[in-house]
Structure 1
Amino acid sequence: MENSAIKIGFITVSDRASRGEYEDLGGPAMQEWIAKALTSEWQPVARVIEDEQTLIESTLKELADQEGCCLILTTGGTGPAKRDVTPEATEAVCDKILDGFAEQMRAVSLQYVPTAILSRQIAGIRGESLIINLPGKPSAIGECLEAVFPAVPYCVDLIDGPYLETDESFVKAFRPKHAKKKA
Protein backbone atom coordinates (compact mmCIF):
# COMPACT_ATOMS: atom_id res chain seq x y z
CA MET A 1 0.00 0.00 0.00
CA GLU A 2 2.99 2.32 0.53
CA ASN A 3 3.44 2.67 -3.24
CA SER A 4 -0.03 4.20 -3.51
CA ALA A 5 0.87 7.02 -1.12
CA ILE A 6 0.87 10.50 -2.63
CA LYS A 7 4.45 11.68 -2.82
CA ILE A 8 5.47 15.30 -3.23
CA GLY A 9 9.06 16.22 -3.99
CA PHE A 10 10.88 19.22 -2.55
CA ILE A 11 14.25 20.26 -3.91
CA THR A 12 16.33 23.05 -2.43
CA VAL A 13 18.99 24.15 -4.90
CA SER A 14 21.74 25.90 -2.93
CA ASP A 15 25.49 25.45 -2.83
CA ARG A 16 25.73 26.81 0.73
CA ALA A 17 22.76 24.89 2.15
CA SER A 18 23.96 21.65 0.57
CA ARG A 19 27.31 22.10 2.34
CA GLY A 20 25.63 22.95 5.66
CA GLU A 21 26.93 26.54 5.62
CA TYR A 22 23.46 28.02 5.39
CA GLU A 23 20.16 26.90 6.92
CA ASP A 24 17.71 25.71 4.30
CA LEU A 25 14.65 27.90 4.81
CA GLY A 26 13.06 27.33 1.40
CA GLY A 27 12.57 23.57 1.66
CA PRO A 28 10.77 23.74 5.01
CA ALA A 29 8.69 26.72 3.78
CA MET A 30 7.47 24.70 0.77
CA GLN A 31 6.61 21.71 2.97
CA GLU A 32 4.78 23.84 5.54
CA TRP A 33 2.71 25.51 2.80
CA ILE A 34 1.74 22.17 1.23
CA ALA A 35 0.87 20.77 4.68
CA LYS A 36 -1.63 23.63 5.11
CA ALA A 37 -2.97 23.34 1.56
CA LEU A 38 -3.64 19.61 1.23
CA THR A 39 -6.12 17.48 3.14
CA SER A 40 -5.08 14.40 1.14
CA GLU A 41 -2.53 12.22 2.92
CA TRP A 42 0.90 12.73 1.39
CA GLN A 43 4.54 12.19 2.16
CA PRO A 44 7.48 14.47 1.40
CA VAL A 45 10.54 13.43 -0.55
CA ALA A 46 13.08 16.17 0.15
CA ARG A 47 16.54 16.88 -1.24
CA VAL A 48 19.06 19.68 -0.69
CA ILE A 49 21.51 19.84 -3.58
CA GLU A 50 24.19 22.04 -5.15
CA ASP A 51 23.61 24.47 -8.04
CA GLU A 52 24.83 22.03 -10.68
CA GLN A 53 22.67 21.51 -13.76
CA THR A 54 23.41 17.80 -14.17
CA LEU A 55 22.69 17.19 -10.45
CA ILE A 56 19.42 19.16 -10.62
CA GLU A 57 18.40 17.21 -13.73
CA SER A 58 19.20 13.83 -12.17
CA THR A 59 17.38 14.76 -8.94
CA LEU A 60 14.27 15.86 -10.86
CA LYS A 61 14.36 12.59 -12.81
CA GLU A 62 14.80 10.56 -9.61
CA LEU A 63 11.82 12.21 -7.89
CA ALA A 64 9.61 11.92 -10.98
CA ASP A 65 10.63 8.55 -12.40
CA GLN A 66 11.78 6.50 -9.39
CA GLU A 67 10.04 8.10 -6.40
CA GLY A 68 6.81 8.73 -8.33
CA CYS A 69 6.21 12.25 -7.02
CA CYS A 70 3.11 13.74 -8.65
CA LEU A 71 4.28 17.25 -7.75
CA ILE A 72 7.88 18.44 -7.45
CA LEU A 73 8.61 21.91 -6.08
CA THR A 74 12.04 23.47 -6.34
CA THR A 75 13.42 26.53 -4.60
CA GLY A 76 16.59 28.38 -5.53
CA GLY A 77 18.66 28.80 -8.64
CA THR A 78 16.13 30.84 -10.65
CA GLY A 79 17.87 34.22 -10.76
CA PRO A 80 20.25 35.72 -13.32
CA ALA A 81 23.50 34.74 -11.56
CA LYS A 82 25.92 32.42 -13.39
CA ARG A 83 25.28 29.56 -10.94
CA ASP A 84 21.46 29.84 -11.29
CA VAL A 85 20.55 26.95 -13.61
CA THR A 86 17.36 25.47 -12.13
CA PRO A 87 15.16 26.60 -15.07
CA GLU A 88 17.60 25.14 -17.59
CA ALA A 89 17.66 21.83 -15.73
CA THR A 90 13.87 21.80 -15.45
CA GLU A 91 13.39 22.52 -19.13
CA ALA A 92 15.89 19.79 -20.04
CA VAL A 93 13.90 17.07 -18.23
CA CYS A 94 10.34 18.18 -19.02
CA ASP A 95 8.12 16.85 -21.81
CA LYS A 96 6.05 20.06 -21.81
CA ILE A 97 6.58 23.55 -20.40
CA LEU A 98 3.57 25.30 -18.84
CA ASP A 99 4.28 29.00 -19.36
CA GLY A 100 1.21 30.19 -17.46
CA PHE A 101 2.71 29.19 -14.11
CA ALA A 102 5.79 31.37 -14.63
CA GLU A 103 3.73 34.27 -15.95
CA GLN A 104 1.41 34.19 -12.94
CA MET A 105 4.21 33.82 -10.39
CA ARG A 106 6.13 36.79 -11.79
CA ALA A 107 2.97 38.92 -12.00
CA VAL A 108 2.20 38.25 -8.33
CA SER A 109 5.81 38.73 -7.21
CA LEU A 110 6.00 42.08 -9.00
CA GLN A 111 3.33 43.37 -6.62
CA TYR A 112 5.88 42.94 -3.82
CA VAL A 113 9.32 43.61 -5.31
CA PRO A 114 10.50 45.18 -8.58
CA THR A 115 13.33 42.63 -8.79
CA ALA A 116 10.77 39.87 -9.45
CA ILE A 117 11.31 40.65 -13.13
CA LEU A 118 14.72 38.98 -12.74
CA SER A 119 13.13 35.67 -11.77
CA ARG A 120 13.36 32.93 -14.37
CA GLN A 121 11.33 30.20 -12.67
CA ILE A 122 9.35 27.88 -14.94
CA ALA A 123 7.00 24.91 -14.64
CA GLY A 124 6.57 21.79 -16.70
CA ILE A 125 5.47 18.19 -16.95
CA ARG A 126 7.65 15.10 -16.85
CA GLY A 127 5.55 11.98 -17.29
CA GLU A 128 3.02 12.04 -14.45
CA SER A 129 4.88 14.74 -12.49
CA LEU A 130 4.24 18.48 -12.39
CA ILE A 131 7.46 20.40 -11.67
CA ILE A 132 7.28 24.00 -10.45
CA ASN A 133 10.31 26.23 -9.81
CA LEU A 134 9.73 28.64 -6.93
CA PRO A 135 11.75 31.60 -5.64
CA GLY A 136 14.16 31.13 -2.74
CA LYS A 137 12.66 33.51 -0.17
CA PRO A 138 10.08 31.79 2.09
CA SER A 139 7.56 34.65 1.86
CA ALA A 140 7.85 34.65 -1.95
CA ILE A 141 7.36 30.86 -1.99
CA GLY A 142 4.03 31.34 -0.21
CA GLU A 143 2.95 34.20 -2.47
CA CYS A 144 3.74 32.21 -5.62
CA LEU A 145 2.10 29.00 -4.41
CA GLU A 146 -1.01 30.93 -3.40
CA ALA A 147 -1.17 32.34 -6.94
CA VAL A 148 -0.74 29.09 -8.89
CA PHE A 149 -1.86 26.29 -6.60
CA PRO A 150 -5.58 26.55 -7.44
CA ALA A 151 -4.65 25.05 -10.85
CA VAL A 152 -2.27 22.37 -9.50
CA PRO A 153 -4.75 19.62 -8.49
CA TYR A 154 -6.55 19.72 -11.85
CA CYS A 155 -3.21 19.73 -13.70
CA VAL A 156 -2.18 16.64 -11.70
CA ASP A 157 -5.55 15.06 -12.66
CA LEU A 158 -4.85 15.74 -16.34
CA ILE A 159 -1.45 14.00 -16.23
CA ASP A 160 -2.96 10.91 -14.54
CA GLY A 161 -1.68 11.72 -11.07
CA PRO A 162 -3.54 11.20 -7.78
CA TYR A 163 -6.57 13.25 -6.80
CA LEU A 164 -5.30 16.08 -4.57
CA GLU A 165 -7.82 17.53 -2.14
CA THR A 166 -7.26 20.95 -0.61
CA ASP A 167 -8.31 22.70 2.56
CA GLU A 168 -10.63 25.24 0.98
CA SER A 169 -10.22 27.61 3.92
CA PHE A 170 -6.54 27.91 2.92
CA VAL A 171 -6.56 27.46 -0.87
CA LYS A 172 -9.41 26.41 -3.12
CA ALA A 173 -8.55 24.11 -6.00
CA PHE A 174 -10.32 24.84 -9.27
CA ARG A 175 -11.66 21.96 -11.31
CA PRO A 176 -14.16 22.28 -14.16
CA LYS A 177 -17.65 21.07 -13.28
CA HIS A 178 -17.24 18.05 -15.56
CA ALA A 179 -14.10 16.88 -13.70
CA LYS A 180 -14.89 13.90 -11.51
CA LYS A 181 -13.11 12.61 -8.45
CA LYS A 182 -11.14 9.45 -9.12
CA ALA A 183 -12.37 6.32 -7.40
Structure 2
Amino acid sequence: MRAYIITLSDKGYVNEREDISGKVIFEMVTKNGYEVVNNIILPDERTLISNLLKKICDEDEADLILTTGGTGLSKRDVTPEATKDIIEYEVPGIAEAMRYNSLQITKRAMLSRAIAGVRKNTLIINLPGSPKAVKENLEFVIDELSHGLEILKGSASECARK
Protein backbone atom coordinates (compact mmCIF):
# COMPACT_ATOMS: atom_id res chain seq x y z
CA MET A 1 0.00 0.00 0.00
CA ARG A 2 1.14 3.53 -0.80
CA ALA A 3 1.24 6.25 1.85
CA TYR A 4 1.50 10.01 1.41
CA ILE A 5 2.59 12.09 4.43
CA ILE A 6 1.67 15.77 4.74
CA THR A 7 2.93 17.91 7.62
CA LEU A 8 0.91 21.08 8.15
CA SER A 9 3.06 23.71 9.81
CA ASP A 10 3.61 27.37 9.00
CA LYS A 11 6.96 27.31 10.82
CA GLY A 12 8.01 24.00 9.31
CA TYR A 13 7.19 25.26 5.84
CA VAL A 14 9.62 28.19 6.19
CA ASN A 15 12.28 26.05 7.94
CA GLU A 16 11.79 27.64 11.36
CA ARG A 17 10.93 24.26 12.92
CA GLU A 18 12.16 20.74 12.17
CA ASP A 19 9.49 18.29 11.00
CA ILE A 20 9.85 15.53 13.57
CA SER A 21 6.23 14.31 13.31
CA GLY A 22 6.52 13.58 9.59
CA LYS A 23 9.66 11.56 10.30
CA VAL A 24 7.86 9.57 13.01
CA ILE A 25 5.06 8.75 10.57
CA PHE A 26 7.58 7.79 7.87
CA GLU A 27 9.36 5.36 10.22
CA MET A 28 6.12 3.81 11.44
CA VAL A 29 4.48 3.28 8.07
CA THR A 30 7.60 1.90 6.37
CA LYS A 31 8.08 -0.47 9.31
CA ASN A 32 4.53 -1.66 8.65
CA GLY A 33 5.11 -2.35 4.96
CA TYR A 34 3.83 0.85 3.36
CA GLU A 35 5.65 2.54 0.50
CA VAL A 36 5.93 6.28 1.19
CA VAL A 37 5.31 8.01 -2.14
CA ASN A 38 5.83 11.52 -0.77
CA ASN A 39 6.53 13.32 2.51
CA ILE A 40 5.98 17.07 2.30
CA ILE A 41 5.41 20.15 4.48
CA LEU A 42 2.72 22.72 3.72
CA PRO A 43 1.61 25.89 5.48
CA ASP A 44 -1.73 25.94 7.30
CA GLU A 45 -3.73 27.17 4.31
CA ARG A 46 -7.12 25.49 3.87
CA THR A 47 -7.41 25.81 0.09
CA LEU A 48 -3.83 24.65 -0.49
CA ILE A 49 -4.40 21.61 1.75
CA SER A 50 -7.76 20.65 0.26
CA ASN A 51 -6.50 21.07 -3.31
CA LEU A 52 -3.54 18.77 -2.64
CA LEU A 53 -5.69 16.16 -0.88
CA LYS A 54 -8.14 16.21 -3.81
CA LYS A 55 -5.33 15.86 -6.37
CA ILE A 56 -3.73 12.92 -4.54
CA CYS A 57 -7.05 11.09 -4.30
CA ASP A 58 -8.34 11.90 -7.77
CA GLU A 59 -5.07 10.93 -9.45
CA ASP A 60 -4.75 7.76 -7.33
CA GLU A 61 -1.31 8.73 -6.03
CA ALA A 62 -1.76 7.02 -2.65
CA ASP A 63 -3.96 4.55 -0.81
CA LEU A 64 -3.46 6.30 2.53
CA ILE A 65 -2.84 9.96 3.30
CA LEU A 66 -1.62 10.80 6.79
CA THR A 67 -1.62 14.44 7.79
CA THR A 68 0.05 15.77 10.91
CA GLY A 69 -0.71 19.12 12.50
CA GLY A 70 -3.49 21.64 12.25
CA THR A 71 -6.03 19.71 14.34
CA GLY A 72 -6.16 21.92 17.45
CA LEU A 73 -8.06 25.04 18.40
CA SER A 74 -5.83 27.71 16.86
CA LYS A 75 -7.42 29.88 14.18
CA ARG A 76 -4.66 28.58 11.84
CA ASP A 77 -5.60 24.92 12.53
CA VAL A 78 -7.63 24.12 9.42
CA THR A 79 -6.69 20.53 8.57
CA PRO A 80 -10.06 18.95 9.55
CA GLU A 81 -11.95 21.58 7.54
CA ALA A 82 -9.70 21.11 4.50
CA THR A 83 -10.24 17.36 4.78
CA LYS A 84 -14.02 17.71 5.12
CA ASP A 85 -14.02 19.94 2.03
CA ILE A 86 -13.00 17.04 -0.20
CA ILE A 87 -13.97 13.71 1.39
CA GLU A 88 -16.98 11.71 0.21
CA TYR A 89 -17.64 10.25 3.67
CA GLU A 90 -16.13 10.21 7.15
CA VAL A 91 -14.77 7.18 8.97
CA PRO A 92 -15.45 8.43 12.51
CA GLY A 93 -14.32 5.27 14.29
CA ILE A 94 -10.67 5.96 13.47
CA ALA A 95 -10.64 9.44 15.01
CA GLU A 96 -12.78 8.25 17.93
CA ALA A 97 -10.37 5.37 18.61
CA MET A 98 -7.35 7.66 18.50
CA ARG A 99 -8.98 10.16 20.89
CA TYR A 100 -10.10 7.35 23.21
CA ASN A 101 -6.59 5.95 23.37
CA SER A 102 -5.06 9.40 23.86
CA LEU A 103 -7.48 10.24 26.66
CA GLN A 104 -5.95 7.38 28.63
CA ILE A 105 -2.66 9.33 28.45
CA THR A 106 -3.73 12.99 28.60
CA LYS A 107 -7.01 14.85 29.04
CA ARG A 108 -5.81 17.28 26.37
CA ALA A 109 -6.77 14.67 23.77
CA MET A 110 -10.33 15.99 24.01
CA LEU A 111 -9.11 19.14 22.25
CA SER A 112 -8.24 17.27 19.05
CA ARG A 113 -10.50 17.92 16.07
CA ALA A 114 -8.84 15.28 13.88
CA ILE A 115 -11.05 13.38 11.45
CA ALA A 116 -10.69 10.49 9.02
CA GLY A 117 -12.48 10.03 5.74
CA VAL A 118 -12.47 8.62 2.24
CA ARG A 119 -12.31 10.15 -1.20
CA LYS A 120 -12.47 7.69 -4.11
CA ASN A 121 -10.10 4.86 -3.10
CA THR A 122 -7.96 6.82 -0.63
CA LEU A 123 -8.25 6.92 3.15
CA ILE A 124 -7.24 10.22 4.77
CA ILE A 125 -6.38 10.39 8.48
CA ASN A 126 -5.59 13.58 10.39
CA LEU A 127 -3.02 13.07 13.13
CA PRO A 128 -1.98 15.57 15.81
CA GLY A 129 1.11 17.72 15.37
CA SER A 130 3.26 16.59 18.28
CA PRO A 131 5.65 13.70 17.61
CA LYS A 132 4.61 11.96 20.85
CA ALA A 133 0.90 12.20 20.01
CA VAL A 134 1.51 11.09 16.41
CA LYS A 135 3.28 7.96 17.63
CA GLU A 136 0.62 7.14 20.23
CA ASN A 137 -2.27 7.68 17.81
CA LEU A 138 -0.78 5.89 14.83
CA GLU A 139 0.39 2.94 16.95
CA PHE A 140 -3.18 2.44 18.12
CA VAL A 141 -4.75 2.24 14.64
CA ILE A 142 -2.04 1.15 12.21
CA ASP A 143 -2.62 -2.60 12.52
CA GLU A 144 -6.24 -2.26 11.38
CA LEU A 145 -5.60 0.16 8.53
CA SER A 146 -4.42 -2.49 6.08
CA HIS A 147 -7.70 -4.38 6.45
CA GLY A 148 -9.69 -1.18 5.99
CA LEU A 149 -7.69 -0.33 2.88
CA GLU A 150 -8.20 -3.83 1.48
CA ILE A 151 -11.96 -3.42 1.92
CA LEU A 152 -11.84 0.06 0.35
CA LYS A 153 -9.84 -1.22 -2.63
CA GLY A 154 -12.07 -4.27 -3.07
CA SER A 155 -9.31 -6.83 -2.45
CA ALA A 156 -11.05 -8.08 0.72
CA SER A 157 -14.76 -8.60 1.04
CA GLU A 158 -15.31 -10.07 4.48
CA CYS A 159 -15.17 -8.09 7.69
CA ALA A 160 -16.51 -10.79 10.02
CA ARG A 161 -14.03 -12.47 12.30
CA LYS A 162 -13.96 -16.26 12.26
Instruction: Please confirm whether the aligned pair reaches a TM-score higher than 0.5, indicating the same fold.
Output: yes
The 5-angstrom pairing of residues 1-183 of structure 1 reads 6-38=1-33, 42-66=35-59, 68-160=61-153, 176=160
Choose 1 or 2 for highest CA Rg. Answer: 1
Deviation at 1:64, TM superposition (A): 1.8
Alpha-carbon deviations, 1:17-74, whole Å to 9, x = none? Answer: 0011111111111001112222x6x233122000010011011112222252000000
Deviation at 1:127, TM superposition (A): 0.4
Q: Which amino acid aligns with 2:32?
A: A
**1:119–1:135 contact (8 Å) kept in structure 2:** yes
| Residue ranges of structure 1 left out of the alignment (5+ in a row) | 1-5, 164-174, 179-183
Q: How many residues align?
A: 160
SS in 1 for 2:114: coil
Q: Which amino acid aligns with 1:88?
A: E
Q: TM-score, normalized by length of structure 1?
A: 0.81
| Residue ranges of structure 2 left out of the alignment (5+ in a row) | none
Q: Give, in whole Å, the separation in 2 of the partners of 1:161 and 1:135.
A: 29
Q: Give, in whole Å, the separation in 2 of the partners of 1:108 and 1:82.
A: 26
RMSD value, Cα:
1.8
Q: Which amino acid aligns with 2:101?
A: V
